[in-house]
Structure 1
Amino acid sequence: MSTILIIDDDDQLRKSFEKLLSAEGYDIRCAASGEAGLKLVETESLDLVVLDMRLPGMNGLETFEAIHAIEPKLPVIIMTAYGTTETAIEATKLGAFDYILKPFDIPDMLVVIEEALEAGRFMRSPVDMNAVPGQQGVREAIIGRSKPMQDVYKAIGRVSSTDATVLIRGESGTGKELVARAIYQHSLRNDKPFLVINCVAIPENLLESELFGYERGAFTGASHRRVGKIEQANGGTVFLDEIGDMPSSIQAKILRLLQEKSIERLGGRDTISVDVRILAATNRNLEKALAEGRFREDLYYRLKVVTLWLPPLRERRDDIELLTRYFLSRYSREMGVDNPGITAEALQILRQYPWPGNVRELGNCIQKTLIFNRGAPISPEDINQAISGQGNVEGGGAFAGDEGVQQWIVNALTAGGSDNLFESCMDRFASMLISEALRITGGNRSRAAKLLGLSRPTLHSKIEKYHLKFETSVKETS
């Protein structure tokens, strides 16, 4: 469960905020002044601070600087009234994660909180490399003893202590984000911000403002100046995931950042100097994109100062048993169940499977087997069911069998007359998948979100969209 400290002298707002976040499954601490908040920072294990700018005694900026001096990797979200926006921007430039204007929109605030918690985990959770058997499962790790993975470890060691731009390449699911985090954590900037930007997850019309920020009046709705992620990470590292899908208009601005170490906010004319290290990753064929004019050649050569290739799992089958035992240890611990172990016959099936989804697919497979496991060592039948996607759900459920899904699709197709048939089918499938995740987890939204690979705010929005009803039978944890 993530622990959040709220520092605000407004008793009513603080209590309302505490009630809201507690209902979301967070563990909340509260302070009415900067001085009281600092004592909690020094004595408690915190994951996030939400800090008001106007406080009695120490003001918000002074409080932030003191927090940052004690815990430089503890993310801080600033709450500010419109009149104190410039002070909040200053705090953001000094390392605050983000700022929210009062009165704030609750769904938007929950999204920022989830993003800040994730950024904090990335910065503060070490990534083990080449972990020793029997010591895995406690932390995230890059696992492998094969020759290709030994080359990866050596490359991480060589580039970490430099400021070189690194392009991490490999198929989807090979662990590119973990490698980026390992490079950051072993770099000279490891006490500075580390921000992840997924160039696919953010809509094109929002990506530019997310990266570079904007000035007041830059577009409709831009009521105040906004600092972008690049500026927020000044002095630190920015990881541009899926950069092969970045729109060409934004590619030009990233090129300028790499060449001149400067940016301009949307709607602004001032050149802003920034000092960030860029790590990038893609599973795309950039050479093909170059030939087709979808990726800038000058940016391509700027990015590949160092290129680090991650091998697909099918090219390092000797690591499959090590990875399997790591995932069994890690996920059984996270799910609060005993590690059942695995039979030699089941391991043989895992070694022979081609794993198109690579390490991520293997991890998902092991997680599925643990969900439906009844205590016996994982068998070949368990693995075959997990790979085929047919979980052995007792007592029925949305996916106890696929006949109902098939019949619904047949009915939809034969009925015809819908211009949005595909969207309707996708919504129906998503609704069923979320319902099943909630059923499996007893209504625990945090565990369901983790099972589905969604952020908690995204899961909340889907539950509301599909009007899903469920009973919570266990306490929310995260």
Structure 2
Amino acid sequence: MTRGRIVFIDDEKQLCAAAEDWLSVSGFTVTTYQNPAQALREIDPQDWDCVVSDLRMPGATGFDVLTHFRAADSDLPVILLTGHGDVPVAVKAIQIGAYDFIEKPYDADMLVAVLDRAVERRRLRREIDLLHDGAGAPSIEDRLIGISPAMVALRRSVVQLASVNVDVLITGETGTGKEVLARALHEFGARAAGNFVAINCAAVPESIFESEIFGHDRGAFSGAASERAGKFEYGQNGTVFLDEIESMPLALQAKVLRALQERTVVRLGSNRERAIDVRFIAATKTDLRRESAAGRFRADLYYRLATVELAIPPLAERREDIALLHGVFARAAAERFGLALPQDTDLTWLSEQAWPGNVRELKSAAERAVLGLASPTSTRVPGGRAAPLPDRVARFEAEAIAQALRMTNGSTAEAAEQLGLPRRTLNEKIARYGLRGADRAAMEP
């Protein structure tokens, strides 16, 4: 598979030849054009991952290239090559949709790094579009989204286990998607036509737990005017999902264990056993083996549930999934709120965050981004609370870089010298913090 399909446009023949040689050796598929008007006529944006164009060329400018491809395919990244005097102009180009600009003479390794990020974004957008277009025909990839080895392995496990009549224990931190995995095991298995009954063991009061789970006969207790099937019976021929099972009171665990072992329930107020054909899937955010050793969870119930154990790793351990998930969530939020999808998402910033709330936190961040309520460099969060220290440090760094750019009239070479940074590092930080449009007036001639 190619590292990326690149269009390189520059009226200088030697630059085109050098770029084609270097990028081809680096694993990219490259087509070069010295005539920008010809490129605009011949290039189908759907066939390419990124366009690199010089800013000043006879016949058509980099602005013409940018405007053309933004109109034809707004997701196609366009990178502009600029001389020192063109930096203020390139800053304006960023405002109308250029992915990035690189000063001439550029470092070849830096160009490759920028292209890698642009290609990654392009391919992620395409994957998101494919997931969106396939919404009418759900697949395992739609349910368990991710390209990390862990998610690939989980999808493989679902395929293997979905129709096997075996109980499953799902483990993972809060917000990792344990119920999503449980629903996938149900929806893609032989029990899909039956009910999926989700029970949050921490939310059901102990006083009514038995009635809710096992049901009751008429007159079983005050107020029981009619018989009622419990949730285990309601899951007949389907799946019962016991979420946060570590919260189930010890006194009730023995009764649930018997139901799991015998596949029968006895309603409150009745002596008759009722057979149930149910698959049980339990989920926990704690180590049940350790809880059992401490006497806080029945060991026999743990071993009964853990015939098969599936672990969902935290988001911080599968960072390659973060940008894709954020894009899917942002697309869904944009459609739900009737708003435009953000075009300036900082994938580098996203991948560097800790995400202690895992997928749930990432989804909230995507929704806030669509609503315009979040900024990667903001020092405060909604509600007036101070942002985490890494965010405040990032804000300080961004402001220091912006000030240096203002003092040097937009020259990244001079700003890099002033800040004591390699120019390549500075350019990467400028792109990360979205400083292309900062203090535009001060940077204009």
TM-score (norm 2): 0.54
Name the structure 2 match of 1:219: 221
- Asked whether the 8 Å contact 2:171–2:283 carries over to 1, the reply is yes
Work out whether 1:370 is the aligned partner of 2:365: no
Q: CA deviation digits over 1:8-52, x for unaligned, max 9?
A: xxxxxxxxxxxxxxxxxxxxxxxxxxxxxxxxxxxxxxxxxxxxx
Classify the secondary structure of the residue corresponding to 2:240.
strand
Classify the secondary structure of the residue corresponding to 1:157.
helix
Classify the secondary structure of the residue corresponding to 1:263.
strand
Classify the secondary structure of the residue corresponding to 1:284.
coil
Name the structure 1 match of 2:158: 156
Name the structure 1 match of 2:175: 173
- Asked whether the 8 Å contact 2:168–2:310 carries over to 1, the reply is yes
Name the structure 2 match of 1:336: 338
CA distance in 2, matches of 1:251, 1:312: 28
CA distance in 2, matches of 1:288, 1:324: 34
Name the structure 2 match of 1:191: 193
Q: CA deviation at 1:135?
A: 2.0
Name the structure 2 match of 1:134: 129
Q: CA deviation at 1:272?
A: 1.1
RMSD: 2.0
Q: CA deviation at 1:132?
A: 3.7
Work out whether 1:390 is the aligned partner of 2:392: no
Work out whether 1:202 is the aligned partner of 2:195: no
Structure 1 residues 164 and 340: alpha-carbon distance in aligned structure 2, compared to 1, 3 A threshold: same
Q: CA deviation at 1:355?
A: 0.8
Structure 1 residues 202 and 137: alpha-carbon distance in aligned structure 2, compared to 1, 3 A threshold: farther
Give 5+ residue unaligned stretches, structure 1. 1-130, 374-380, 392-398, 404-478
Structure 1 residue identity aligned to 2:211: S
Q: CA deviation at 1:326?
A: 1.1
CA distance in 2, matches of 1:198, 1:252: 18
Name the structure 2 match of 1:265: 267
Q: CA deviation digits over 1:365-407, x for unaligned, max 9?
A: 111122236xxxxxxx71354xx7723xxxxxxx4x469xxxx
Name the structure 2 match of 1:244: 246
Name the structure 2 match of 1:353: 353
Give 5+ residue unaligned stretches, structure 2. 1-125, 136-141, 387-445
Q: CA deviation at 1:334?
A: 1.5
- Asked whether the 8 Å contact 2:215–2:228 carries over to 1, the reply is yes
CA distance in 2, matches of 1:172, 1:156: 21
Name the structure 2 match of 1:48: none
Give the counterpart of 2:298 among 296, 299, 306: 296
- Asked whether the 8 Å contact 2:195–2:236 carries over to 1, the reply is yes
Q: CA deviation at 1:160?
A: 0.4
- Asked whether the 8 Å contact 1:137–1:327 carries over to 2, the reply is no
- Asked whether the 8 Å contact 1:365–1:383 carries over to 2, the reply is no
TM-score (norm 1): 0.51
Q: CA deviation at 1:347?
A: 1.8
Q: CA deviation at 1:141?
A: 3.0
Structure 1 residues 187 and 219: alpha-carbon distance in aligned structure 2, compared to 1, 3 A threshold: same
Name the structure 1 match of 2:117: none
Classify the secondary structure of the residue corresponding to 1:191.
coil
- Asked whether the 8 Å contact 1:193–1:234 carries over to 2, the reply is yes
Q: Once the two structures are aligned, what percentage of the paired residues are identical? A: 42
- Asked whether the 8 Å contact 2:264–2:275 carries over to 1, the reply is yes
Q: CA deviation digits over 1:107-129, x for unaligned, max 9?
A: xxxxxxxxxxxxxxxxxxxxxxx
CA distance in 2, matches of 1:154, 1:402: 42
Q: CA deviation digits over 1:402-447, x for unaligned, max 9?
A: 69xxxxxxxxxxxxxxxxxxxxxxxxxxxxxxxxxxxxxxxxxxxx
CA distance in 2, matches of 1:273, 1:324: 44
Q: CA deviation at 1:218?
A: 2.3
CA distance in 2, matches of 1:221, 1:196: 25
- Asked whether the 8 Å contact 1:174–1:358 carries over to 2, the reply is yes
Structure 1 residues 280 and 389: alpha-carbon distance in aligned structure 2, compared to 1, 3 A threshold: farther
Q: CA deviation digits over 1:195-222, x for unaligned, max 9?
A: 1111112222222211111122322222
Structure 2 residue identity aligned to 1:340: P
Structure 1 residue identity aligned to 2:375: D
Classify the secondary structure of the residue corresponding to 1:334.
helix
Q: CA deviation at 1:157?
A: 1.0
Structure 2 residue identity aligned to 1:252: A
Q: CA deviation digits over 1:67-120, x for unaligned, max 9?
A: xxxxxxxxxxxxxxxxxxxxxxxxxxxxxxxxxxxxxxxxxxxxxxxxxxxxxx
Structure 1 residues 402 and 164: alpha-carbon distance in aligned structure 2, compared to 1, 3 A threshold: closer
Structure 1 residues 339 and 243: alpha-carbon distance in aligned structure 2, compared to 1, 3 A threshold: same
- Asked whether the 8 Å contact 1:253–1:263 carries over to 2, the reply is no
Q: CA deviation at 1:244?
A: 1.3
- Asked whether the 8 Å contact 1:195–1:239 carries over to 2, the reply is yes
- Asked whether the 8 Å contact 2:330–2:369 carries over to 1, the reply is no
- Asked whether the 8 Å contact 1:136–1:330 carries over to 2, the reply is no
Q: CA deviation at 1:290?
A: 0.3
- Mapping of 1:404-443 within 5 angstroms? none
Classify the secondary structure of the residue corresponding to 2:189.
coil
- Asked whether the 8 Å contact 2:196–2:240 carries over to 1, the reply is yes
- Asked whether the 8 Å contact 2:163–2:190 carries over to 1, the reply is yes
- Asked whether the 8 Å contact 2:148–2:320 carries over to 1, the reply is yes
- Mapping of 1:86-101 within 5 angstroms? none
Q: CA deviation at 1:251?
A: 1.3
CA distance in 2, matches of 1:202, 1:352: 38
- Asked whether the 8 Å contact 2:289–2:299 carries over to 1, the reply is no
Q: CA deviation at 1:287?
A: 1.6
Q: CA deviation at 1:359?
A: 0.8
Structure 1 residues 326 and 153: alpha-carbon distance in aligned structure 2, compared to 1, 3 A threshold: same
CA distance in 1, matches of 2:336, 2:143: 15
- Asked whether the 8 Å contact 1:264–1:272 carries over to 2, the reply is yes
Q: CA deviation at 1:191?
A: 0.9
Structure 1 residues 214 and 173: alpha-carbon distance in aligned structure 2, compared to 1, 3 A threshold: same
Q: CA deviation at 1:185?
A: 0.8
Q: CA deviation at 1:142?
A: 1.9
